[in-house]
Amino acid sequence: MTTGAAKSASKKREPTAATMAVRTAAILFVFVIIFTGLLSGAYLWTKPALEASAAEEKMKLINEVLPRSAYDNNLLKDTVTLPASPLLGTDEATTAYRARKGADPVALVFEAVATDGYAGKIRLIIAVNADGTIAGVRVTQHKETPGLGDYIEPKKDKNKERPWITQFNGHSYASTVDKDWRVKKDGGRFDFIAGATVTPRAVIKAVRKATKYVAENQTQLYASQ
């Protein structure tokens, strides 16, 4: 009897599940409105800056492989979609950027993947001039061994004057014979760092195949919308 009384007393003090649900929901609702509002405000405020920095980031990369002075169009707007291709090493469609000076095609900037790096895929961005020569190559992503295979990144390359990756500049699929697209150890023309030959081999192979792809598809690439 006492316990029953205590129970009903405590019931009076404590809300039912339904009222509690409503109350909690309401409070959470208010807080969410306030803080999501705050957040959305911040987002709208920074949005232009965000977009700018995203574009800037892309441009910065492109500028590394293709000098800004070489073209005058807005690359980021003049794109073409490349389907997945074994020559590019890609397994999904990628975007290529077309640099033009006036109406003339200047260069094509696109992504390629070296699939057989020492520790997985090496992602590259390559700029190929309209004449088929390479304007520049940069590594965008890789998992090669730090301190050994990572010299393909200019930042990690001990040779600051002429980083390894710049060796490709000027080569083209047409002018460089197959045999030369190898590291010196294998009888080719490219340098390497002893003890880490797998990485350069992979990059060289990927670049060669990519230039081949461009050479084969050049006209469509510049033409298509």
Partner 1 sequence: MINREEFRSIAHNGIWKQNTSLIQILGLCPLLAVTTNMVNGVMLSLATIIVMALSNVAVASLRNFIPHEIRIPVFILIVAALVTVVDLLFNANLHELYLVLGIFIPLIVTNCIVLARVEAFAAKNPPLHATFDGIFMGIGMLWTLAVLGGLREFIGGGTLFSGIDLVFPGLSPLQLLPADYPGLLLAILPPGAFILLGCMIAWKNWVEARAAQRQPRPPIEPLAADGTN
Partner 2 sequence: MTHYLFVLLGAVLVNNVVLVKMLGLCPFMGVSKKLETAYGMGAATTFVLTVATGASYIIDHYLLIPFGLEYLRTLSFIVTIAAIVQLTEMVIQKTSPVLHQVLGIYLPLITTNCAVLGVPLLNVANKNDFVESLLFGAGSAIGFSLVLVLFAGIRERTDGADVPQHFKGVAIAMVTAGLMALAFMGFAGLDKYQ
Partner 3 sequence: MEFTTSPYLLKNASVQRVMLQVLAALLPGIAAYVWVFGSIILLQLVIATVTALLAEAAMLKLREKPLGLFLSDGSAIVTAWLIALTFPPLSPWWLIVTGTLFAIVIAKHLYGGLGQNPFNPAMVAFAACIVSFPALMSQWPAVGLQVSVADQARVVFGLLPRLDAISGATPLDTLKTALKLDEGSISVTQLLADQTVYGFFAGRGWEWVTGGYLLGGLFLLWRGLISWHAPTAFIAGLSLFSGALWLYNPAQFANPMFHLFSGGAMLGAWFIVTDPVSGCTTMKGKLIFGFAAGALAYLIRVFGGYPDGVAFAVLLMNICVPIIDHYTQPAIFGMKDRS
Interface ranges with ligand FMN (CB under 6 A): 118-119, 144-145, 148-149, 194-199
> What are the residues whose beta carbons fall under 8 Å from the beta carbon of 9, sequence distance 6 or more?
none
| Identified binder of partner 3 from the candidate list 59, 148, 180, 217, rule CB under 8 A | 148
Q: Which C-beta is closer to partner 1: that of 61 or that of 80?
A: 61
Determine the Cα–Cα distance for residues 41 and 117; give it in Å rounded to an integer: 45
Asked whether position 118 contacts partner 2 by CB under 8 A, the answer is: yes
Q: DSSP of 73-108, one letter per residue?
A: S-GGGSEEEEPP-TTTT-SS-EEEEEEEETTEEEEE
* Residue 128, SS3 per DSSP: strand
How many chain residues touch partner 2 (CB under 8 A)? 10
Asked whether position 116 contacts partner 3 by CB under 8 A, the answer is: yes
- Cα-Cα-Cα-Cα dihedral of 94, 211, 209, 168, to 10°? -110
Kindly state the smallest distance separating residue 208's Cβ from partner 3, in Å: 11
Q: Which C-beta is closer to ligand FMN: that of 118 or that of 222?
A: 118
21 binds, among partner 3, partner 1, partner 2, none (CB under 5 to 8 A by kind): none
